[in-house]
């Protein structure tokens, strides 16, 4: 492994968990509850760039997004 390929540790005080994506041009990302997206159901369809994605709530309470 080349030195440039080694993973860099996170800066002090930051966790290794994924940080939320930064919004475009300084606009914070919109945040939704899963209930707002799914309503009373267990699935929601999301149209994006000509494709339809399915957001599904599993029996164990996790969310899965598939194309």
Quick check: 24 pLDDT over 80?
no
9: left (phi over 0), alpha (psi -120 to 50) or beta: beta
Domain ranges of the chain: 42-67
Percent over 90 (pLDDT), the chain: 58
Confidence grade of residue 9 (pLDDT, cut at 50, 70, 90): low
- Calculate the CA dihedral of residues 37, 63, 8, 21 and round it to 10 degrees: -10
pTM exceeds 0.85 for this model? no
Quick check: 19 pLDDT over 60?
no
């Amino acid at each position: 492994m080349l030195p440039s390929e080694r993973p860099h540790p996170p800066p002090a005080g930051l966790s290794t968990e994924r940080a939320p994506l930064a919004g475009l041009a300084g606009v914070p990302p919109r945040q939704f509850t899963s209930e707002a997206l799914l309503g009373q159901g267990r699935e929601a369809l999301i149209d994006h760039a000509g494709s339809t994605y399915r957001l599904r709530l599993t029996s164990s309470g996790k969310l899965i997004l598939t194309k």
